[in-house]
Structure 1
Amino acid sequence: MSATAVSPEAAAQLLFPPNVQFNNSRLYTVKFLSSCFAGAVAGVLGLENTLGFALFVFSTLLTSSCLYVKCKGKPAKFVPGGWWELVNPGQENIFSFVLVWTLFYGIVHVYD
């Protein structure tokens, strides 16, 4: 028996919707906490402009690579969209990063 290639549409049908919903919820939570933590680090370190956003990109890539390892190299098996869904930071996470970044920057560096 030879292994046949499965089309993306057929692969999406193999995913059980409650499990996909749970995985997406956990993925959103991990990305949100990662972006908030990166914002806090950027604020405490006093990073400004592109250095702060570079930290956000670095933290997003680091989080994505950790999730990729956790998925054992097959993210499409757990979330629809596969690898792109892991790397995509999401608009709300960028806003959360900026909010926490400015908050911690203001708290720590208020009299600089």
Structure 2
Amino acid sequence: MSAPNPDAAAHRIYMLNVQHNSALMTVKFLSACFAGATAGILGLQNWLGFALFLVSTLLTSVFIYAVNCKGRPAKYIPGGLWELVNPGQDNMFSFVLTWTLFFGIVHVYD
């Protein structure tokens, strides 16, 4: 048995759906930023802030799964469901950046 050809696997994914991934990743990025702003404004610290990030990531993934991917993420995203739920390093850094920014702005004199 030979290993599956990666080019053949890539051709099974519809390219217009893959091009739509930039919009999906933008939604995930904005969700992380808004969650960071919310955590900062609410004054969440330590694990509570990261729990908000986790909940926000999961809710965003469920929304994208149900509305945009219509229950078939493998058709739209090369990594399938795991890639949809994966928060990504960029989104986590964006969350922490906006979290600390808004925490510092709102709670500077506490």
TM-score band by shorter chain is: 0.7 to 0.9
Q: For residues 101 and 79 of structure 1, what CA distance do their matches in structure 2 show? A: 28
CA contact (8 A) 1:32 1:96 kept: yes
Match of 2:58 among 56, 61, 77: 61
Report the residue type matching 1:17 in the other structure: M
Deviations 1:42-72 (A, max 9, x none): 0000000000000000000000000110111
Q: For residues 102 and 58 of structure 1, what CA distance do their matches in structure 2 show? A: 18
Q: For residues 32 and 73 of structure 1, what CA distance do their matches in structure 2 show? A: 21
Deviations 1:12-41 (A, max 9, x none): 422233541x22211210111000000000
Where does residue 4 of structure 1 map in the other structure? none
Q: For residues 16 and 55 of structure 1, what CA distance do their matches in structure 2 show? A: 34
What secondary structure sits across from 2:20 in the alignment?
Answer: helix
CA contact (8 A) 2:14 2:76 kept: no
Q: For residues 14 and 76 of structure 2, what CA distance do their matches in structure 1 show? A: 9
What secondary structure sits across from 1:72 in the alignment?
Answer: coil
Q: Where does structure 1 differ by over 2 angstroms across 4 or more consecutive aligned residues? A: 9-12, 16-19
Q: Percent identity?
A: 69
Report the residue type matching 1:40 in the other structure: A
State TM-score, norm by structure 1. 0.85
Indicate the RMSD between aligned Cα atoms, in angstroms.
1.6
Matches within 5 A, 1:1-112: 12-20=10-18, 22-70=19-67, 71-112=69-110
Structure 1 unaligned segments of length 5 or more: list them.
1-6
Structure 2 unaligned segments of length 5 or more: list them.
none
- In terms of mean alpha carbon deviation, does 73-82 or 51-60 score higher? 73-82
Aligned residues: 104
State TM-score, norm by structure 2. 0.87
Where does residue 3 of structure 1 map in the other structure? none
